[in-house]
Chain A
Amino acid sequence: MEFKDYYKIMGVARDATQDEIKRAYRKLARKFHPDVSKEADAEQRFKELGEAYEVLKDPEKRAAYDRLGADWKAGQEFHPPPDWDTGFEFSGGGFTSGDAPFSDFFESLFGRRAGIYGGARRHEYRTRGEDHFARIQIDMEDAFHGGTRTVTLQAPETTRDGHVRLRQRSLKVRIPKGIMPGQQIRLRGQGGHGVNGPEGDLYLEVHFRPHPLYRVEGRDIYMDVPVTPTEAVLGAQITIPTPSGLVDLKIPPGSGARRKLRLKGKGLPGRPPGDLYAVLQIALPPADSEAARAAYRHLAEVIPFNPRRHMGGHDERR
């Protein structure tokens, strides 16, 4: 079991006042709340923060934690001293955040927080199992072609003796063709257990992994397509890789950078299907030989062109 440095997690000094701890918590909770945070590890950080605050906000728990001493380093292998909590009595304050059990470290010190979470209070008058929710990430190709995905979910579960622990389970789920980011798949009967009643449902909120070529907006798919200045100016017929295979794309003459060319119905399948947009990017041919440099110079001679004319400056020196 690893030692957890709750002061470090909260970014406060060991002699911080209760008010300072509270303010630090508020600030970090806003920063790392998984619903608002853009930090990649927000969920993990928020969980750690909740656990650290749970200990430090409570003078009894904090005093007990402090008695372990200041010499411990985060991540160090930890075994609580046998008599570490003698003389302390915990009154058991309410928990404010998190669905999952705290770390083994927390539990070895303060016991399991059993029976506080879970749907017990709802089961008193409701016999149907609770509905559960999870987010899953899929590849765009799964949504485009349809497919199956095995997802592993963790859910807190109250055991028969009243302990809360994480239960892992894997589910093989059919990904319906044409599902869009943000949509939910409802799996009937895969939620919480009912008490003398039906099981709850499981809702999977679908998100797409970032794709190297495609961006998905609703049912529409966008892709950047590099073209040469010659292709853009004179027009061309090019071949691009779309999710449904190679497709010929006609570049109209005089196409500028960022021009969007629409391929109707080539987006995510559906009724109606989305469109695919090829967004043109102008790629410059490298001038890595004397002949190439000469060709560029020749181009500049034949086509006098000042792209900065609209800026109003009078650059007469060139």
Chain B
Amino acid sequence: MKEDKSLPLLTGDVLDDSVWLSFGELARICSLDAECLIAMVDEGVLEPRGMELQAWRFHPASITRVQVVLRLRRDLGVNLAGAALVLDLLDEIEGLQARLRHLNIED
């Protein structure tokens, strides 16, 4: 990764814990229609803050979760409930791997 002087330097904004996305923003970023997004909330894939749809605010990590669900559906034919299960298991694996790293067992 050499520095290229000819390229302009791009500065972006970090989607950290202070940036919570509205229903409309998340739908637009993921190119997803409202019904799909509501179904994901009903299934527990996404857990927005706020009581009703207009007040929903999504953690920026929701973007990645939505995309994993969409790819699993497209590539493996996994339905929403199955994808929710996969996401839970992936979270669990990640937690276990973090513990493994601390125990120095990995590799």
Contact = CB atoms under 8 A, between A and B. Distances in A.
B10 A173 contact: yes
A17 B101 CA distance: 44
Contact of A217 (B8, B11, B31, B98): B98
A148 B101 CA distance: 28
Interface string B2-16: 111001111111111
Contacts of B10: 171-174, 187, 190
A111 to B, nearest CB: 22
Interface in A157-209: 170-174, 176, 179-180, 182-188, 190, 201, 203-205
Contacts of A300: none
Given A35-B72, A150-B2, A172 B29 contact: no
B14 A184 contact: yes
Interface in B1-48: 1-4, 7-16, 28-31
A34 B29 CA distance: 21
B4 A170 contact: yes
Give the size category of B's interface with A: 35 or more
A96 interface: yes
A292 B50 CA distance: 67
B12 A187 contact: yes
Given A171-B10, A204-B12, A224-B104, A36 B86 contact: yes
A179 B16 CA distance: 8
Given A33-B72, A35-B68, A215-B101, A149 B12 contact: no
Contact of A186 (B15, B31, B90): B15
A205 B13 contact: no
B76 A29 contact: yes
17 contacts: A35-B68, A35-B71, A131-B31, A148-B9, A150-B1, A173-B9, A173-B12, A176-B12, A176-B14, A179-B16, A182-B61, A183-B60, A187-B10, A201-B29, A203-B15, A217-B98, A224-B104
Interface of B: 1-4, 7-16, 28-31, 60-61, 63-64, 67-68, 71-72, 74-76, 86, 90, 98, 101-102, 104
Interface of A: 26, 29-30, 33-36, 46, 50, 96-98, 119, 122, 128, 130-131, 133, 148-151, 170-174, 176, 179-180, 182-188, 190, 201, 203-205, 215, 217, 222, 224, 279
